[in-house]
Amino acid sequence: MATVEASGSDGKGQGVETSVTYYRLEEVAERNSSKEIWLVIHGRVYDVTRFLNEHPGGEEVLLELAGADATESFEDVGHSSDAREMLKQYYIGDVHPDDLKPESGSKVPSKDNTYKSYWSYWIIPIIGAIVLGFLYRYYTSESRSS
Ligand code: HEM
């Protein structure tokens, strides 16, 4: 089982391979100067302080996103697989589950909406057909009786 630290302050895994340190977004946001730069990419926290001068894309872009979620910018650049491999060196932990954007959560209501729209899509024509059936029977029975 993973050892979970609810709020890491030093980011050390204490040598346990399976341990995950969770960081609140507030903690990440504090690391936003050139002294210490943390970034969030795909829900993972990276300490890129020592990478600042080595980044082929320059230090400015990292400084701009310091303490924030850089997922979109990281993906927009189309980083190579080598760049993605490099991420591992700077990984210090995960964003606390309570702070994760409801990416999967938002799928549930959208599924619900699809479900609802699916029903409204079918129920209206079905009710319409039933009403038309009744009207047809009503008029045909009336014309027969007169
Ligand atoms: C720890 C995070 C990051 C790592 C390890 C990383 C690594 C790299 C590497 C290895 C390259 C060379 C090209 C490649 O191999 O893809 C690169 C280029 C670049 N990176 Fe990053 N990067 C990181 C974060 C970011 C972020 C957050 C941005 C924000 C926009 C960014 C913007 C760029 C740009 C603009 C280039 C230059 C692309 C080019 O000239 O073709 N990088 N990065």
Percent of all residues in the chain with a pLDDT value above 90, rounded to a whole number: 59
Same domain, 91 and 127: no
Any domain includes 84: yes
- Closest by alpha carbon to 4, among 31, 23, 28, 25? 23
For the CA atoms of 55, 60, 65, 66, the dihedral, rounded to the nearest 10 degrees, stands at 80
d(CA 16, CA 20): 9
Same domain, 89 and 124: no
Same domain, 44 and 91: yes
d(CA 111, CA 145): 51
Q: Which CATH number is 45's domain given? A: 3.10.120.10
pLDDT of 143 reads 72
Hey, which of 48, 55, 63, 71 would you mutate to test ligand 1's pocket, going by the most ligand atoms within 8 Å of its Cβ?
A: 55
pLDDT: is 56 or 125 the higher one? 56
Single-letter amino acid code for the residue at 71 = T
Same domain, 94 and 131: no
Q: Which domain holds residue 60?
A: 22-99
Strand partners, 47: 38
Same domain, 73 and 127: no
pLDDT of 15 reads 46
Instruction: Report the nearest atom of ligand 1 relative to the CA of 79.
Output: 16
Sign (positive/negative) of CA torsion 17, 23, 28, 31? negative
For the ranges 55-59, 102-106, 123-127, the maximum mean pLDDT occurs at: 55-59
Q: With beta carbons less than 8 A apart as the criterion, state whether 100 and 43 touch.
A: yes
Residue-wise pLDDT tens digits, 75-117 = 999 999 999 999 999 999 999 999 987 654 444 455 555 555 6
Pocket of ligand 1 (CB under 6 A): 39, 46, 48, 51, 55-57, 61-62, 65, 70, 73-74, 77, 79-80, 82-83, 86-87, 90
Any domain includes 14: no
Same domain, 26 and 93: yes
Is the confidence at residue 35, as pLDDT, over 50?
A: yes
pLDDT of 104 reads 47
pLDDT of 125 reads 86
- Look at the chain and report how many structural domains it folds into: 2
Same domain, 58 and 89: yes
Same domain, 27 and 91: yes
Hey, which of 71, 79, 91 would you mutate to test ligand 1's pocket, going by the most ligand atoms within 8 Å of its Cβ?
A: 79
Question: Is residue 45 left, alpha or beta, with left meaning phi > 0 and alpha meaning psi from -120 to 50?
Answer: beta
Arithmetic mean of pLDDT over the chain: 82
d(CA 83, CA 70): 14
SS3 of 34-69: the string is CCEEEEEECCEEEECHHHCCCCCCCHHHHHHCCCCE
Same domain, 61 and 129: no
